């Protein structure tokens, strides 16, 4: 299932990390307890028949093909995102339309953690029309919550709003807790270090003093997994499509393509140069119901030692056992 909560807006604050890493109840549901979302500051009461997701931060109802995705960003990003996406319904329609989301409404809820701004709309995906709700909550982190379900499936808007109003925000989890919530493991290789995780499905690494590097002066590595119907896709075609859809790599020139072992499977490596001259390497392995991808973007003068470290990071990636 493809989520696009982050892809429709590119915040200037801490942008590099979050850009490269993205497309519900009957009354009985409230017999459920509030559940913490591993690796995040969020606790909420999910709709009935939703269970914690194993491949991203949030909840899912696999039978209905419905999901709740939670993405956390720095607290400073709240006002920028609120004014750009959640200030009025007209602006929301224009911004979300670029990602194929037809916005129908913008509402403000009174939640347990304060004001919850919610954009409602629909989106076509793989020939199916989905109801979609995107919520913004302010706490120690800026939190975006995307709820998606086919139009003929549960939950409905009333149930979604009740779930969103139940959200409580606590303190930020430790880095160890965030890493433990990922569906895969990966190890940093010097000079790289782990910076953060995003949405319980990606991890960010960099080499250098800066944690936030919007100018791209430091090497950056993002490892991410995505659920989706990819079993019938040609892996080589998928690899090129994903590369073309990546921020800063839209017009990249592929100079090398080869088969590699990656994340315990038969993978594909694409390497070359971005339009701005920087080097890139993309590793991709497609599983039966998901793929795992690693993208490295580095300055044009990056030496062989750093590129060898990137290969070591790729060799360390492996899915956790269920």
Tokens of 39: 């690796």
DSSP string, 46-103: PPTT-EE-SSSSEEEETTTTEEEEEEEEETTHHHHHHHHHSS-HHHHHHHHHTTTEEE
Closest by alpha carbon to 29, among 49, 59, 51, 58?
49
C-alpha 71/C-alpha 22 separation (Å) is: 10
Tokens of 92: 């929301």
Q: How many CA atoms lie within 13 A of 145 on its CB side?
A: 30
**pLDDT at 32 (0 to 100):** 52
Note the Cα 230 to chain centre separation in Å: 17
Confidence at 236, pLDDT banded by 50, 70, 90 = confident
- Whether pLDDT at 55 is above 90: no
Tokens of 190: 């010097």
Closest by alpha carbon to 215, among 6, 15, 11?
15
C-alpha 308/C-alpha 316 separation (Å) is: 13
- Whether pLDDT at 46 is above 70: yes
Closest by alpha carbon to 83, among 13, 140, 172, 17?
13
**pLDDT at 92 (0 to 100):** 93
Tokens of 94: 């224009």
Calculate what percentage of the chain has a pLDDT beyond 70.
Answer: 87
The residue-averaged pLDDT of 200-226 equals 85
Closest by alpha carbon to 149, among 52, 27, 25, 291?
25
Higher-confidence residue of 212 and 223: namely 223
Residue 100 has φ and ψ, to the nearest 5°, of 80, 15
Output the CA–CA distances (angstroms, integers) from residue 241 to 133, 236, 246, 260, in the order listed: 27, 9, 9, 18
Mean pLDDT of the chain: 83
The residue-averaged pLDDT of 240-249 equals 87
User: Would the CA dihedral through 126, 127, 128, 133 be positive or negative?
Assistant: positive
303 by DSSP, 3-state: which?
A: coil
Confidence at 30, pLDDT banded by 50, 70, 90 = very low
The residue-averaged pLDDT of 156-170 equals 91
**pLDDT at 238 (0 to 100):** 87
Tokens of 291: 């793929």
- Within 8 A by CB and 6+ apart from 95, the residues are 8, 9, 84, 85
C-alpha 177/C-alpha 173 separation (Å) is: 6
**pLDDT at 227 (0 to 100):** 63
Q: Are 121 and 103 in contact (CB under 8 A)?
A: yes
Q: Are 248 and 264 in contact (CB under 8 A)?
A: no
**pLDDT at 291 (0 to 100):** 85
Higher-confidence residue of 312 and 182: namely 312
Show the CA angle centred on residue 266, arms to residues 200 and 292, nearest 5°: 15
**pLDDT at 29 (0 to 100):** 32
Q: Are 271 and 255 in contact (CB under 8 A)?
A: yes
Say which range, 26-35, 53-62, 288-297, has the weakest mean pLDDT: 26-35
Tokens of 138: 């302010």
The residue-averaged pLDDT of 23-47 equals 64
Tokens of 144: 């975006």
Confidence at 247, pLDDT banded by 50, 70, 90 = confident
The residue-averaged pLDDT of 247-264 equals 91
- Whether pLDDT at 282 is above 90: yes
C-alpha 2/C-alpha 93 separation (Å) is: 20
Confidence at 232, pLDDT banded by 50, 70, 90 = low
Strand partners, 174: none
Higher-confidence residue of 11 and 296: namely 296
- Whether pLDDT at 180 is above 80: yes
**pLDDT at 98 (0 to 100):** 82
**pLDDT at 185 (0 to 100):** 92
């Amino acid at each position: 299932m493809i989520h696009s909560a982050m892809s429709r807006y590119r915040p200037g604050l801490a942008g590099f990390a979050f850009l490269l890493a993205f497309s519900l109840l009957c009354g009985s549901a409230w017999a459920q307890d509030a559940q913490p979302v591993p690796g995040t500051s969020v606790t909420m009461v999910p709709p009935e028949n939703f269970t914690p997701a194993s491949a991203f931060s949030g909840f899912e109802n696999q039978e209905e093909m419905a999901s709740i995705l939670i993405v956390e960003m720095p607290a400073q990003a709240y006002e920028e995102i609120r004014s750009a996406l959640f200030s009025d319904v007209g602006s929301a329609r224009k911004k979300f339309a670029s990602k194929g989301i037809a916005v129908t409404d913008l509402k403000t809820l009174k939640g347990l953690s304060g004001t919850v701004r919610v954009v409602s709309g629909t989106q076509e995906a793989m020939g199916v029309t989905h109801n979609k709700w995107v919520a913004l909550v302010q706490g120690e982190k800026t939190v975006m919550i995307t709820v998606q379900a086919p139009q003929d499936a549960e939950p409905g808007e009333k149930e979604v709003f009740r779930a969103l109003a139940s959200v409580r925000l606590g303190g930020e989890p430790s880095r160890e807790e965030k890493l433990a919530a990922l569906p895969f493991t990966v190890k940093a290789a010097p000079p790289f270090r782990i910076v953060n995780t995003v949405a319980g499905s990606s991890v960010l690494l960099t080499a250098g003093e800066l944690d936030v590097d919007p100018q791209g002066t430091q090497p950056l590595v993002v490892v991410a997994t995505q659920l989706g119907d990819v079993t019938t896709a040609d892996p080589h075609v998928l690899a090129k499509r994903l590369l073309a859809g990546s921020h800063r790599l839209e017009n990249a020139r592929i100079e090398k393509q080869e088969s590699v072992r990656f994340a315990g499977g038969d993978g594909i490596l694409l390497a070359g140069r971005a339009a701005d001259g920087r080097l890139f390497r993309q590793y991709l392995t497609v599983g039966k119901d998901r793929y795992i991808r690693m993208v490295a973007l580095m300055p044009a003068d990056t030496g062989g030692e750093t590129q060898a470290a990137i290969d070591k990071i790729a060799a360390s990636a492996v899915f956790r056992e269920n």
